[in-house]
Amino acid sequence: MTNAHFKSGFACLVGRPNAGKSTLTNALVGQKVAITSGRPQTTRHTVRGIITREDAQLILIDTPGLHRPRTLLGERLNTLVSDTLAEVDVIVFCLPADQRIGPGDRYIAAQLAGVTGGRRGPRVVAVATKSDLVAPERLAEHLIEISELGSWEQIVPVSATGGYQVDHLADVLVKELPEGPMLYPEGELTDEPEAVMVAELVREAALEGVRDELPHSLAVVVEEMGLRDGRDESHRLVDIHAIIYVERPSQKAIIIGKSGSRLRSVGTKARVEIERLLGDRVYLDLHVKVAKDWQRDPKQLAKLGF
Ligand SMILES: Nc1nc2c(ncn2[C@@H]2O[C@H](COP(=O)(O)OP(=O)(O)OP(=O)(O)O)[C@@H](O)[C@H]2O)c(=O)[nH]1
């Protein structure tokens, strides 16, 4: 039911790598849509989560971490981020309470000041994420440091994993939205093409427990995805063929593991998540390929969807 003063609009989550953006997106939406991981910079795609309430629809855009570009991929991600930022209605700046404000946060604050400088630009709500990880005194200190970092519409401490103040944050964000119609049908949580989400789930599974330098060197492409022929409605099976691209043969060996054992467990883990996403049984076929220096090669980047 849509009331007369229904509001709708877009919010964008920014913050340094590992700030808790994906986890917060999931908590706000209430279902797993974005990709979380203990490793920095795993969010390659702009994933939207959609919150539909009686009074408003808020579309969340979970961006890759704003960061100083080191490679071509980094540059493209940053352009994507600032283009996205200028167009949203409200920006959520995530600052993890378990870490001190640092140069990365100041860099983002400066970028935000550039985007939101004019009167018409989006407002920024600063969020102290992971507030469950610190004592009240440290949280208070963090909130003061945040207030000194820039000018914010509000500062809200939350814990995405504990559910603390997540609903309150949603209220604060909805307040910033203009009146407008529902933009997506009710029940829709994300408009990412399924293949992209499937690729992200494979990527997440492949990254689990591997060395620090690997995340940046790993991309996943779903080559084929379709219902298997000749099955009746109650026994549907989705065939998925995906390729995990790494930069070096040594990384390929890490992903595959001893006699393929690691790749098998990556496949099993990803399959479970994909089945949950699609609601169908899945046959997942994974291959690992070396695409040398893909992060620096425009042709390879285009092929990998960047
Ligand atoms: N204790 C606690 N841990 C959290 C909370 N939110 C996120 N985390 C953890 O922090 C880590 C990073 O969280 P993500 O949500 O992946 O961070 P992100 O900002 O999306 O990271 P990038 O994709 O690298 O930009 C994960 O291990 C999360 O489980 C929280 O509220 N409390």
Ligand 1 mutation pick, 22, 129, 164, max ligand atoms within 8 A of CB: 22
Q: How many angstroms from the chain centroid is the CA of residue 273?
A: 16
Choose which residue among 21, 23, 78 to substitute to test ligand 1 binding: the one with the highest number of ligand atoms within 8 A of its C-beta: 23
Q: Cα(298)–Cα(303) distance, rounded to whole angstroms? A: 9
Q: Which residues contact 64 (CB under 8 A, 6 or more apart)?
A: 41, 43, 44, 45, 46, 77, 80, 81
3 state DSSP class of 60: strand
pLDDT of residue 52: 84
User: Is the distance from CB of 146 to CB of 155 less than 8 angstroms?
Assistant: yes
Residue 18 annotated as part of some ligand binding site: yes
Tell me the average confidence (pLDDT) per consecutive run of 10 residues in the chain, 306 residues long: 76 88 87 49 52 87 54 57 75 96 89 72 93 97 96 96 94 93 67 74 86 70 83 86 88 91 95 86 93 64 58
3-state secondary structure of 127: strand
Q: Where are the domains of the chain?
A: 7-175, 194-303
According to DSSP, residue 87 is labeled H
Strands 123-129 and 7-14: what pairing? unpaired
DSSP state of 71: S
Residue 185, annotated as binding a ligand: no
Residue 31 is predicted with a pLDDT of 60
Q: Please name the amino acid found at residue 149.
A: L
Cα 40 to averaged position of ligand 1 atoms, centre (Å): 9
| CATH 3.30.300.20 correct for 194-303 | yes
For 83, other C-beta atoms within 10 Å of its C-beta total: 10
Report pLDDT for 42.
Answer: 40
Is 234 among the annotated ligand-binding positions?
no
Class of domain 7-175: alpha beta
Cα 131 from Cα 203, distance rounded (Å):
28
CA distance 197 to 111: 28
Q: What is the pLDDT of residue 189?
A: 60
Residues 172, 160, 148, 41, CA torsion sign: negative
Amino acid identity, position 206 = A
